[in-house]
Structure 1
Amino acid sequence: MLENVKFGVIPCAGKGTRFLPITKSVSKEMLNIIDRPTIDYIVDELIDSGIKDIVFVVSPSKTDIKKYYSKDESLINELKESHKEEYIKEIEKLTSKANFYYVTQKEALGLGHAVLMAKEIVHDNNFVVCCGDDITLYDKCNPPIKSLIEAFNLTHSTIVGGQKVEHSLINKYGSMDIEKNIDETLFKLKGIVEKPSLDKAPSDYASLGKWVFKPNIFNELEHTKKGLGNEIQLTDAIESLIKKEDVYFKIFNGKRYDCGDKLGFLKAIIDISLTRDDLKDGFLKYIKSIIK
């Protein structure tokens, strides 16, 4: 039963500097993987995991996300007049597949601050947080977020989601300091070391953009001082929580892509293309032709 977790929160207020100049006019979360924006894959994972109320935390200049998930009667009428009814269902499905809410983060004060902004919608409900540029390819029967929610319902505690990464990459992530194993995919945490040097990383288990929180995280965030980059860091608030109560790390299934990184974004496009019946044969033939 997944009714204990009501909301999904997707922070989308980042500037997307690594993708300039395109992100000067398009939100990085709206960069397309073929015919869908990156963020839509995250939305669908939340929906597949039983979450129907989704909160986007956006900057004042980001209006394209709201436009994408809003009704567009003029477009529907154009498609009808052009006898392109096959697209109408896809367009209408966007606005009806979940309840969408929007919160504006007026200042870019970090991921922790973005999560705190969602309090006005989430209130005293449990909720999931997903980074807006991290997507995962997964078995439809077992979405990663669903497995995190199940761990939350088992432990009644904050869940940090992630996977094991190559040791040479752990300095890019939060490294899990593990106190004990609950099972082969669930661990009680002693702490988190953010972006450690390779010789000081407590493990190769990395936090990878998915969390399940109780509403008490808002209190921690309200009392978290600015840290790295002069921003309110979500990891700092979780570290504070670990000192007061149990927090767990859950390994999620699936192949994860960092779409905030150009190479990660390109890998996602290639792999998703190869899952689509309308593209995979022609695309694979083309790939083979250029790597001979």
Structure 2
Amino acid sequence: MAHTSSQTSLARPPLASLETVCAVAREGSFLAAAEVAGLTHGAISRRVAAVENWLGMTLFERHARGVRLTPDGQRFVGRIEQAFGIIDSAAVQWRLPRSPQLVKLSVVPAFAKLWFFERQAAFESAAPALRIQLDIDHRNVDIAGGEADLAIRYGRGSWRQLEVKPFLPETLYPVAHPALAARLAKQRHKHGDAALLDVPLLHDSDVTGWRAWFGALAIPLKPRAQDRRFEDYTLVLAAAEAGLGVALARVPVADAYLRKSGLVRVSRHEVASPLTYYFVHAKGESRPEVLALIDRMQAAQQGVS
């Protein structure tokens, strides 16, 4: 025989009352449970009394500092919490996916083209889904002002008032067009790596990388009119492909580009770059979507994904 809705309702107390009993058990007092639930002390008391009346037994013992569960209450609340756990698991499994969470990410053009674009779809599609809004510019955006949630910056990590975490260290070695590389090979046979000073050196905003590379060889590097400066590192690599001079390969960020290009290595000497890519965000950043993107990028850098 089918049960009516009124008969079904007698099979258990209201879920809200059961949740209240669990809250009182967790908090240890009616007053604390009322504050957490946003209810009055009287409402909490009435809900607990309704469950106790329905059960026909006392769930809580009163003491000076609040309440504690009776032995029967401990067994009952334990089973109810298990039941709520099953409900919560079902809700997570069956509810419709939420809209992807937005993360505003600031990057320089070279990083976007050489490293990020080919990984962006994977970063967005991993669970939970993200929507990454890129701000691609050479300027440092105002993170504190809300222009970005997260930035990837290249430098020495000295950005005050923000939280800075190392992300992508680089190794430097010189590359050139094959014809120029062949010419340099003959000169290097006589003069070693100092022969690179006979051709234009290609670089972006400064010569920090070249100074570090030559410095490790104890070869001084002075400003030279013949060297060529470009605003973006991808232009540095393109100029090297065109035979306009020698560029520093910055690996691993340039790995994919180098595999596809005709550039060849012109020296076995390599150095760790004094500049590094960093995660930069507001201090105390705790939003799950921002932390998720950081985790995914770190995993990709480490070859995990």
Same fold (TM over 0.5): no
Larger Rg: 1 or 2? Answer: 2
Q: TM-score, normalised by structure 1?
A: 0.21
- Structure with a larger share of its residues in strand: 1
Q: TM-score, normalised by structure 2?
A: 0.20
